[in-house]
Every structure is written in C-alpha cells, then in structure tokens.
Amino acid sequence: MEKGAGWFSQNFSEIEKNRVNNAFWQRNTLILETGQRIKLSEFLRKIVELGYSKVWEVHHRGEFSQRGNVVYIVPINGGQIYPHTNDIGVGVYSIEFEGNYIESIIGKSFTSSLNVKPTIQKQNLFLPGDYVVHIDHGIGIFRGEKEEDYIIEYATPKNRPNSPDLLFIPKKEIKRISPYLGFKKPEIHRLGTLAWSLTKKKAKEDILAYAKELLEIFAKRKIASRPPYAAHHELEEELISNFQYEYTPDQKKALEEIFADMSKNVPMDRVLMGDVGFGKTELAVVAAFRAVLTGKQTAIMAPTTILADQHFEIFKKRLELFGVNVARLTRLESSEKIKEILKKIEDGRTDIVIGTHKILGKNIKFKNLGLLIIDEEQKFGVAQKEKFKKENPSLDILTLFATPIPRTLQLALSGIRAISEISTPPEGRMKIETFVLPKNKRLIKEAILYELKRKGQIYFLANRIHKIPALLEEIKILKTGAKIGVLHGRMPEAKIIKTMHDFREGKSDLLVSTTIIENGMDLSNVNTLIVEDATRLGLSQARGVCLFFVPYSAPQRKSRL
C-alpha cells in the first residue's frame, strides 16, 4: 500500500474497525504482535498473497527472505525517521517464530538510497469490486482484467444513464492505479469531466498554502515580543513547599530554565522531557501559576479525556488554595456546562483551562492567553498544534514529553526549540523490580496479596480487549479479595473517567486494563504491574514490582526480555 507508515499508525484504530466488515482491509492488511499464535507457513502464504516477493536477501520494499524460523521483511509502506540514527530509511523487520507463535519482532533501518525501490505487485491488491484511484481519471471501481488490460468502471455519463463508462488500462501502466484507502464510501468520478483535475489542483494548492502558512507562523514568532512574566517569589515558594516531594536537582534546574524563558521579552518554546512520575506535571503547575499571577491565562492540551481529567484533578488540587480558577473542557461536560465555561474563559474568569481537542474549537475565545502547555504532543496533528501560534505569535509554549517524536527532537537539537530534561527520579524512589516468568497462577495470587497487604494497588495489563473477560475469570478464581475495576478504550468516556476516579480514590484495588493506561497515567499508589506479555510501561511509584508472564510455548522469550 502506498501510504506511509505514519498514516497507518495514525489510522490504526480505523483500520482495525474496517477489518471486521470491509473485504478490502481484511484482504490487504495483516496485524502482527509478539506472542501471537500463527503458523510460519500460514504467515508466509499470507504475505505472498499480499504481493511480497521472496528473495535471498532483502534490499527493497515489498521483499522478504527466510532463514529457518526467522523471516526478514521490508514493509511496502516503509520509510520513516529513526530517532537513534536520525536517518530516513527503509525499515527491515526480523520476525522470529517459536513453534506456532511469534517469538519476537525487531525492526532496524538501512538507509542507502538504492534500497527504496518498491517491488510489490500492485495487481495483488485489487479484486473486482474494489475502489481504486487512477492518477489521471480519479476514483472508480475495479472490474478485473481482459487480456492485456485492467478495467475500471466510472460513473455513468449524463447522456447514457444506464451504461457506465469503462476505462481500459494497459497492464504495463499499472503504476497509474492505486487502491483507495479511505474508510468511507467514495464518490465515483465521471470520465471526461474536470472534477478530478480540480480536486488534485486544489489539494496541491492547499499543501503549498499550508507550507507557506507554517513558514509565516515561524517567521512571526522569531520577531515576536511580549512583556516578561513577573516573578512572585513568596507565592511561588509557598506553592512549591506545599508539594508532597522535595524537588530533585533536575527539577530545580528545569524550573530555573523555564522561569528564565518566561522572564525574557520573547516567547518561550521549550520541550520538557522526563519519564512518567519524574515531575514534569509539577513544573507545568508552577509555570502556569506564574502566568496566572502575571494576569495571563493558561491552556493545557491533553490527547485523551482520561489524561485531561487527571491533569484537571492535579492542577485543581495544587492551586485551589491560591484562588486559581481551573476548568475542564472535554466531551464529559454537558452543552450547558461548556457554554458556561466558554463564557468564563472569554471574560477572563477562568485562569487555566484543561482539555482535549475541544480546546481547539473555533468557539473558544481567550481574554488574555499567555501560556500553552501540550502533553503528549505526538498525539496532535501539525495543524492543531500550530493553531494557537497562528492566532497569537507571542504565545509561550511548554511541551511535555516522556519520549519526544523525531520532528520535535530535531527542532530541539537544532536550537529552534529549547530543551530541559528530568533524568533523576524523585527522592526515595527505588528501582523497579522486574520478573520475567512463565505464567503461574500461584505467583499472580502471591503478587496481588503482597500488594494488598502493603495497602497498594495493581495494574493488570491485558493486551487485547477480547482477552479481558477470561482474565477477569482467572483473577476471580484466585480469591484474593481484591476489588476489581475494568478499563478499556471501547467503554463510554464517562465510565472510563468514573473507573479511574474510583481507582484513584482507592475504591478498587486492581485495575484490569488495556494499554489505555500508557498515556502518562501517574498514580503513586500503584506499585505493581502484571503483564501477560512483553509490554514496557513507565511507572511512577516509589518501589515498583513488574511481573511479565510469558507462555510456556515460548521459552526463549524470557531471555530476550
């Protein structure tokens, strides 16, 4: 398929949904994960059906080779930035099988410009009835082949309402045809009209206009100025002293750098890096407090409702003693409540607003926005992140990251964006104890009882939603007495938030969850993570226990972990 790896990553949930009922996506996609049950022979048959070519040694996209139980494959949609090399290269993946299971999936890059030639056979992507796109004539329906031609059906001409147009494309011109990769039923184009040409022309114009707009935004920020934020040492020191932990040296240094930026007369654009639980949010609280004390409003963007709600609870708790008005703007709020919040933001009665994409709405008007804090920036599109800069070139921006995306890291390393790093854990935090073991019900029970005995809580990670019911039954059979909660992305958002509130407040002891908890969830009382498969998550507790259970059928996986 001709979309880049980034497109597939951004649209993964849509692809998963469409694989259920859409024959095209069922036929042309294959989702793999470590620990998945699939025969090597079945996998090889499937990738050949997808159009991959078997070679002795892989060099190009769409090729694979086999060495015993290891398959080396270069995805047709490869080509991405690799953070550790800063190269743009084609990704080659080694997939190792152990019996009927995938033992490991390891990716690396090779960057020679000679290695980007796609060799996949496009005709394997199309079946009669599929929507396809011809570069010159637009969207039609693939109707198969006849001798030396492929046939595409287009919309019926106005003068022949019962006879659709057919376009015959020589097989040697197959490069001019691509599969339609949208998720909604497209409108079929009519041959001999200007509709498709105008669509392409407008797309090119929009791309050029947007690139020009980004350059203009950057140029305006380079020459923008604003009054420095005034320091309020007594109040700021009181806020910091109320924090439950002593600041680490890295936190102190990062805060000094943030305050130094805010004390200048040019807008701040700083990246704050640090693992989950290392204190990034606390520094964001203090930075927002200085903005509020200077008479400026702060907007905080989070990618999910659950993370926005966590930030709301933290900021509200930390700043309520100082009379700071904090509001939450997510899909959980009623229409009436949203109107009330928007009015307060416009009037300046709301000092800090925390929300998801709703903060980007056209109906939100700030009286005096000074600081924008973005958490998990990679979850937002470029246009979304640039919106505030366009409206306010002198806006101060603080971006929070556990692991920055290559584009952000490149901007930071090139000096366009400043960077602060928190690499030391909070005082008293001990190294997480990690155990990789064959799945054992007795050990799981002991781990749960141990955590309950010390009044802690447990995350139990299920890597797929459909595995949760069976996992719940297994846990209930253990009879640990734990109060169990369940969390996954298909639950209504209101229920997700209530489940997290209950867990945060100790109403449940053990949370069976998918990786929805990976987005910066920071609960200091959660000391144990139990994972049925090899998944790495940041933990924020003082002393953590991490148990990775692996199937008995994959004995080599333990040493790899």
Any idea what the CATH number is for the domain that residue 251 is in? 3.40.50.300
In a domain, 309, yes or no: yes
In a domain, 197, yes or no: no
In a domain, 218, yes or no: no
| 158 and 51 together in one domain | no
Structure tokens at 414: 């090139």
Name the domain boundary from 387, 422, 457: 422
DSSP state of 351: S
Residue 297 · residue 324 · CB < 8 Å: no
In a domain, 192, yes or no: no
* In the block, residue with structure tokens 């997700």: 496
| 131 and 244 together in one domain | no
Domain count within the chain: 4
Q: Which structural domain, as residue segments, surrounds residue 20?
A: 5-123
pTM score of the predicted model: 0.60
In a domain, 216, yes or no: no
The number of residues making up the chain comes to 561
Check which CATH number belongs to the domain holding 36 and give it: 3.30.2060.10
| 328 and 380 together in one domain | yes
Task: Give the Å distances, CA to CA, from 203 to 198, 199, 382, 430.
Answer: 9, 6, 17, 54
Spatial separation of the C-alpha atoms in residues 551 and 557, rounded to whole Å: 9
List the pLDDT tens digit at each of the 561 positions of the chain. Answer: 556 666 776 677 778 777 877 778 888 888 888 778 888 888 998 888 787 888 888 878 788 999 888 899 988 765 443 333 333 344 788 898 888 888 888 876 554 433 444 444 555 567 888 899 999 999 999 999 888 899 999 998 877 777 889 999 998 888 899 888 887 888 899 998 898 999 999 988 887 887 787 788 778 888 888 999 999 999 999 999 999 889 999 999 999 999 999 999 999 989 898 877 788 999 999 999 999 999 999 999 998 888 899 999 999 999 999 999 999 998 888 889 999 999 999 999 999 999 988 888 888 999 999 999 998 876 676 667 678 888 888 999 999 987 555 555 555 555 567 888 888 877 766 656 676 666 778 888 988 998 899 888 988 888 677 888 888 998 999 889 999 999 887 788 788 888 988 998 889 999 998 877 765 566 778 888 888 754 333 333 334 566 655 554 444 444 433
Residue 179 · residue 1 · CB < 8 Å: yes
Residue 519 · residue 304 · CB < 8 Å: yes
